[in-house]
């Protein structure tokens, strides 16, 4: 009898060890990561979210200063957190750096809901501050955030997909590529990124909205930015349905690098207006 007990005990320990090893082998963000089963009470039925991929650099992640005005939450807008939980969207939506703040995503969602009041939005943040487009290749590492931008985005796309349908990609990137030879080959890299992103989302015709880099202090006259902006515009024309969103008149934080909160909200409206225009013309 005691021998049977010992055998059963050893089997139990072995099973527990295997489970521990499986958990260890699937840390946060690894392939197969599942969305937390704990969701807000008003979360819609499975598959009902309108999913929006947020990708690029810090101006998509958002660096606008957060105020009490930004704390007014919409119960129909959700965001996927760093640890794969759906919560009611609030700023910062991103988590790439401790400086993350107000970006364009929540305003885009609010504008969408004005035209689609019965919808539920799921914001999926993947932008990485300081990332170059070359760091969005499969397996590439971003020194600025100490992450693998593309690989991490793929995991988050896979996890979010179970809860809805993808309706748009909001992209803002290029500041990291305006210097040196990066700007000269930017268009080719951007085309590859767009194609890979659409393939990963399972929709070759998902609207891809590209935001212009900041124009303050005559930044638009920099030779590298001229090349990047030209590539943005060409990509928008070449990859229908897609759009290029002007940043004319938008203003920056004191750092003269990032859009301020007011401009991020205006950018969100411009992104949505561009999205609406190309989707209505389908």
pLDDT digits (tens, 9 = 90+) for 160-217: 999 999 999 999 999 999 998 999 999 999 999 999 999 999 999 999 999 999 999 9
Which range marks the domain in which residue 115 is found? 36-280
pTM exceeds 0.85: yes
Over the stretch 1-47, which tens digit does the pLDDT of each residue have?
454 544 444 444 443 433 333 333 333 334 446 677 778 988 998 89
Cα distance between residue 170 and residue 126, in whole Å = 10
- Amino acid 35: pLDDT: 72
**What total of structural domains would you count in the chain?**
2
- Amino acid 201: pLDDT: 98
If asked whether residues 69 and 136 sit together in one domain, one would say yes
Q: How much is the mean pLDDT over the chain?
A: 88
If asked whether residues 110 and 4 sit together in one domain, one would say no
If asked whether residues 13 and 117 sit together in one domain, one would say no
CATH number of the domain encompassing residue 172 = 3.40.50.1110
Residue with tokens 């750096």: 97
Cα distance between residue 35 and residue 277, in whole Å = 33
If asked whether residues 18 and 98 sit together in one domain, one would say no
């Amino acid at each position: 009898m005691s021998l049977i007990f010992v055998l059963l005990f050893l089997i139990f320990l072995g099973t527990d060890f295997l489970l521990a090893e499986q958990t260890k082998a699937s840390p946060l963000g690894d392939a197969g990561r599942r969305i937390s089963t704990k969701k807000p009470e008003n979360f819609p039925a499975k598959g009902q979210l309108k999913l929006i991929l947020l990708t690029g650099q810090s101006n998509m992640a958002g660096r606008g200063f957060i105020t009490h005005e930004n704390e007014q939450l919409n119960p129909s807008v959700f965001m996927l957190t760093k640890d794969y939980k759906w919560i009611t969207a609030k700023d910062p939506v991103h988590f790439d750096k401790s400086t993350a703040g107000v970006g364009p995503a929540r305003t885009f969602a609010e504008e969408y809901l004005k035209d689609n009041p019965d919808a539920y939005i799921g914001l999926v943040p993947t932008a990485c501050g300081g990332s170059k487009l070359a760091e969005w290749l499969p397996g590439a590492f971003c020194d600025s955030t100490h992450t693998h931008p593309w690989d991490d985005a793929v995991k988050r796309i896979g996890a979010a997909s179970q809860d809805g349908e993808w309706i748009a990609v909001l992209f803002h990137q290029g500041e990291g590529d305006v210097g040196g030879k990066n700007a000269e080959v930017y268009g080719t890299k951007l085309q590859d990124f767009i194609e890979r992103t659409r393939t990963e989302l399972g929709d070759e015709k998902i609207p891809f909205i590209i935001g212009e880099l900041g124009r303050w202090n005559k930044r638009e006259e920099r030779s590298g930015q001229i090349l990047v902006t030209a590539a943005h515009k060409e990509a928008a024309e070449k990859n229908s349905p897609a759009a290029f969103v002007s940043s004319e008149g938008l203003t920056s934080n004191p750092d003269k690098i990032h859009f301020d909160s007011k401009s991020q909200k205006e950018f969100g409206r411009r992104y949505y207006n561009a999205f609406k225009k190309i989707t209505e013309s389908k």
